[in-house]
RNA sequence: GGGGCCGUGGGGUAGCUUGGUCCAUCCUCUCGGCCUGGGGCGCCGGAGACCCGGGUUCAAAUCCCGGCGGCCCCA
């Protein structure tokens, strides 16, 4: 058995859309465009991802809250850039019953404008800072482009947003560093290698001083943003009058940051680790880490079902999420089913194994099969799950690295986009006009410059477009 | 914002140009039964569809109008 990734890479859109339904992640047939139904299996995986998010929030002293989904128009309009960035894509609530509302309400596209009037009430003193909260809720955006399950939707149903307030720009910067560390820990749990870019001025979050974006590269070479961090400086604090009293008795506006993620994390896991047979889930988040498939044989004196249940009990005791598939269908069919659903490890037990007190292990990532002694089963399963985790990361890292190419000219950049695509890194003078024109020429978006910025600085190169001295490396990609 | 294409069982489709042979084809899924079991086996039987509204006509899945929904391209 060999790992094939032809459709995965060459016909990714179709692969992805089919998988979302056949693997039981979501049902897209709900009669509102861009709003899908979470199916039990998909939701379990997402919950497992969120478990790690909650752990990281706990570790770093963020408190969980829940804000209402409706925001009065009057609050929404307080920060000028913010409203300009979102007004074209919000859902309005204009009526209650038969009567028009005096103050219209919006369905939150993100929660800054819901939270910050409350921040102004809650934050009084320097002793209240840093103030760190988060929530995981649904938010709504009227997307006009092509919607895709988990990736571009009108209802983001698992929107994570952390909001913080600080007594200084420096402390807000420290928060951004912490956010990046949180992201790195999470990405490791998902075996996802990624890149971080500082967004160009024209593409930062509406109202932000600057924005960072974390991206993965999808099988078709387009990038997917799966995490963002913004430093707002005092932009929102001034609009919402969020002030604190300093030790010397004077008052000052707070500095703020936000950090966002969503079910795109799941999309990235599905896309990055998959192959032609379906999903391959990292053991860390797989609802079923090990599936046991009994292989009965007629007239055999051995009871494979009892043996399978005994093994399952052993693994369960060892803390492994295990399932015995006792359905009355052929084993081959079960193999395909569980491979589609991405169960990282399969154990086959037939009469031969019962007789010899053994079991056959089949890895989902490499499709290798091998026999182990029952006495060492738990240990071997643990080892193999760890090995799968490492292999998934290594394979994904190799894909990522081989899809980032540094070039000096636009011609070379164009070739990259025509060929295997991915991310192109190219010298840039730093001028907005030049950046926008390069986007046009390459038919790609500027992700920004590598972050931390020291990695973006270059010397002795010319801007690929205007020929002036280049100040930065700029990253371009076709994006989702 | 502009242009183009398309809506047929749960999923994927044939039929539409030239209206009648369509109580609508095939694959898949699903249900019942038999058989089987270390990679989707086979056989028998069953269930399930023309997006909505209006029009033309003796007759509409097919032609026309409107609505709703989906997809693609361009800005």
Domain spans in chain A, listed from the N-terminal domain onward? 6-273, 290-385, 405-477
C-beta within 7 A of nucleic chain B, residues 324-353 of A: 328-333, 335-337, 339-340, 348-353
Q: Are both A6-273 and A290-385 of the same fold?
A: no
Does the pLDDT at position A1 exceed 80?
no
pLDDT digits (tens, 9 = 90+) for A204-214: 999 999 999 99
Task: Indicate the CATH number for domain A6-273.
Answer: 3.30.930.10
Q: How far is the CA of A21 from the C1' of B10 (A)?
A: 11
Q: Is residue A428 a contact partner of residue A464, using CB atoms and an 8 Å limit?
A: yes
Q: What is the pLDDT of residue A92?
A: 87
Name the nucleotide with the smallest C1'–CA separation from A293.
B38
Q: Is A450 left (phi over 0), alpha (psi -120 to 50) or beta?
A: beta
Residue nearest to nucleotide B10 (CA to C1'): A29
Mean pLDDT of A235-244: 97
B chain positions with any atom within 7 Å of a protein CB: 10-11, 36-41, 69-73
Q: How far is the CA of A414 from the C1' of B29 (A)?
A: 44
Does the pLDDT at position A113 exceed 90?
yes
Name the nucleotide with the smallest C1'–CA separation from A32.
B69
User: What are the beta bridge partners of residue A425?
Assistant: A406, A475
Domain A405-477 sits in CATH 1.20.1250.20? no
pLDDT range class, residue A97, cuts 50, 70, 90: confident
Q: How far is the CA of A22 from the C1' of B51 (A)?
A: 24
Task: Indicate the CATH number for domain A290-385.
Answer: 3.40.50.800
Q: What is the pLDDT of residue A420?
A: 67
Mean pLDDT of A358-372: 97
Which residues have C-beta within 8 Å of that of residue A206, sequence separation ≥ 6? A81, A82, A83, A84, A85, A86
Nearest alpha carbon to residue A1 among A418, A363, A286: A363
pLDDT digits (tens, 9 = 90+) for A54-94: 999 999 999 999 999 999 999 999 988 898 888 888 888 88
How many residues in chain A?
Answer: 480
């Amino acid at each position: 058995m060999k790992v094939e990734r032809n459709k995965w890479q060459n016909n990714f859109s179709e692969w992805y859309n089919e998988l979302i339904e056949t693997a039981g992640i979501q049902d897209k047939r709900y009669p509102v465009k861009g709003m899908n139904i979470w199916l039990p299996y998909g939701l379990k995986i997402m919950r497992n991802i969120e478990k790690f998010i909650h752990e990281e929030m706990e570790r770093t002293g963020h408190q969980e809250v829940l804000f209402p989904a409706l925001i009065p128009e009057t609050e929404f309009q307080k920060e000028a850039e913010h409203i300009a960035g979102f007004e074209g894509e919000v859902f309005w609530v204009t009526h209650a019953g038969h009567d028009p509302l005096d103050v219209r309400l919006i369905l939150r596209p993100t929660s800054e404008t819901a939270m910050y009037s409350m921040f102004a009430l809650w934050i009084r003193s320097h002793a209240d800072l840093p103030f760190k909260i988060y929530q995981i809720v649904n938010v709504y955006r009227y997307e006009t482009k092509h919607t895709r399950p988990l990736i571009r939707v009108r209802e983001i149903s698992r929107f994570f947003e952390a909001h913080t307030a600080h007594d200084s720009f420096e402390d807000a910067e420290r928060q951004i560093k912490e956010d990046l560390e949180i992201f790195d820990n999470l990405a490791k749990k998902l075996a996802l290698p990624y890149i971080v870019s500082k967004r160009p001025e024209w593409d930062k979050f509406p109202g932000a001083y600057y924005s960072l974006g974390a991206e993965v590269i999808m099988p078709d070479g387009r990038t997917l943003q799966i995490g963002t961090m913004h430093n707002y400086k005092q932009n929102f604090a001034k609009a919402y009058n969020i002030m604190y009293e300093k030790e010397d008795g004077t008052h000052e506006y707070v500095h703020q940051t936000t950090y966002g993620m969503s079910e795109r994390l799941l999309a990235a896991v599905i896309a990055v680790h998959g192959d032609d047979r379906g999903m391959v889930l990292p053991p860390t988040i797989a609802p079923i880490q090990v599936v046991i498939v009994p292989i009965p044989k007629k007239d055999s004196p051995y009871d494979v079902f009892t043996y399978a249940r005994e093994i399952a009990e052993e693994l369960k005791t060892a803390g492994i999420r295990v399932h015995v598939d006792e359905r009355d269908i052929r084993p081959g069919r079960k193999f395909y089913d569980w491979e589609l659903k991405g169960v990282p490890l399969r154990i086959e037990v037939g009469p031969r194994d019962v007789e010899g007190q053994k079991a056959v292990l089949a890895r989902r990532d490499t499709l290798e099969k091998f026999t182990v002694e029952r006495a060492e089963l738990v240990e071997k399963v643990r080892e193999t799950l760890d090995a799968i985790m490492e292999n998934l990361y290594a394979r994904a890292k190799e894909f990522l690295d081989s899809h980032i190419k540094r070039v000096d000219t636009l011609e070379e950049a164009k070739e990259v986009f025509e060929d295997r695509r991915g991310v192109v890194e190219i010298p840039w003078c730093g001028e907005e006009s030049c950046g926008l024109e390069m986007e046009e020429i390459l038919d790609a978006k500027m992700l920004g410059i590598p972050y931390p910025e020291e990695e973006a600085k270059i010397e002795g190169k010319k801007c690929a477009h205007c020929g002036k001295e280049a100040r930065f490396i700029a990253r371009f990609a076709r994006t989702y």
